[in-house]
Structures are given as structure tokens and as C-alpha cells.
């Protein structure tokens, strides 16, 4: 009886200590529009490992400071910032929208699937056929 009482006390104690974990995530539109995004990396994922490896990287030095601003009204801006790629145009406007239950982004480069969208990282991709199967073009953005 004494062991049963102690066991009951331990169970009650453990249940009282159990904390409810609540995962709070922001809506995709809020994550996308709260800060400007900087293009960090892009290229074809030739080995299909889900990352852009150094040998697959296509970003130019003049693109590494390009910023993208997504506004809540569905408009946006791209800025070349300090390192201009030589076309003489330092900013561009575009329209965008989240589609397919917020799993895809339709904007400058056409429709792209959202691989990851968090407070700090934004990764999208487009898939094309290259004759040997599906090839994934990945673009990764971060905040300043």
C-alpha cells in the first residue's frame, strides 16, 4: 500500500510538472514582408542533396548584396545596392503573390515552390527537366 501511495505521488508530481509546448508560427505573408531579404545563394542542385554546394553556386559578387522587399499589398522592390551588376538599373519593381495554400510564390522568376520560410531564412526552388531527370534550381535568401 505504501509503494502504491508513493507511485501515485510520483505520477501526480510528474503530471503537474509537464508543461504544454505551444509552437507559434507566423503566417507566411508576415514572415515574407516583415524585413528585407538578401540574396545569399542560388544554383542548380546537381547532386540532388537539397543544398547549393560550392561547385553548384552561381551567385556573382555583385548579386550578394541584392535586397528584395515584399510588401503586404503584393508589390515589391529589388535593389542592387552598392554592388551593381552593370546594367545601369539599380532597382526594379515587381508584383508577387502566395499561391497553392501558401506553398508557392509567384513573382519575378515565375512560380517557385517554398522549401523553407522562417524568421531568418527563405528558400525557394523551381524544377525543370534536363533529360536525365528533374533538376532543382534553388534560391536562398537571408536577412541582413
What is the per-residue pLDDT for 12?
39
Reported in sequence order, the residue ranges of the chain that DSSP labels E, i.e. its strands, are 37-44, 67-70, 75-79, 91-95, 97-99, 104-107, 110-117, 121-129, 134-142
Strand partners, 76: 70, 94
- Rounded CA gap, 40 and 47, in Å? 20
The band of 131, judged by pLDDT with boundaries at 50, 70 and 90, is confident
pLDDT in tens, 51-92: 999 999 999 998 998 999 999 999 999 988 877 777 666 788
Say if residue 132's pLDDT is above 90: no
For residue 144, what is the DSSP state? -
Q: How many residues does the chain have?
A: 144
Is residue 19 predicted with pLDDT exceeding 60?
no
Return the higher-pLDDT residue of 18 and 32. Answer: 32
- Chosen CATH of 26-142 out of 2.40.128.280, 3.40.50.150, 3.30.1330.10, 2.40.340.10: 2.40.128.280
pTM over 0.85: no
pLDDT tens sequence across 28-56: 999 999 999 999 999 999 988 989 999 99
pLDDT of 10 above 50:
no
CB neighbour list of residue 121: distance below 8 Å, 6 or more residues apart? 140, 141, 142
Over residues 107-136, the mean pLDDT reads: 90
Listed residue (130, 88, 90, 138) closest to 113, CA to CA: 138
Closest CA to 96 of 122, 135, 58: 122
Domain ranges in the chain are: 26-142
Amino acid at each position: 500500500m505504501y509503494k502504491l501511495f508513493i507511485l501515485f505521488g510520483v505520477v501526480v508530481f510528474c503530471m503537474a510538472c509537464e508543461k504544454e509546448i505551444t509552437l507559434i508560427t507566423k503566417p507566411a505573408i508576415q514572415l515574407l514582408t516583415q524585413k528585407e531579404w538578401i540574396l545569399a545563394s542560388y544554383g542548380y542542385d546537381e547532386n540532388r542533396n537539397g543544398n547549393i554546394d560550392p561547385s553548384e553556386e552561381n551567385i556573382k559578387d555583385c548579386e550578394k548584396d541584392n535586397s528584395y522587399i515584399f510588401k503586404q499589398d503584393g508589390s515589391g522592390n529589388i535593389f542592387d545596392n552598392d554592388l551593381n551588376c552593370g546594367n545601369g538599373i539599380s532597382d526594379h519593381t515587381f508584383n508577387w503573390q502566395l499561391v497553392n495554400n501558401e506553398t508557392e510564390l509567384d513573382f519575378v522568376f515565375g512560380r517557385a515552390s517554398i522549401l523553407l520560410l522562417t524568421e531568418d531564412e527563405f528558400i525557394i526552388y523551381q524544377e525543370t527537366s534536363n533529360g536525365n531527370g528533374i533538376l532543382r534550381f534553388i534560391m536562398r535568401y537571408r536577412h541582413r
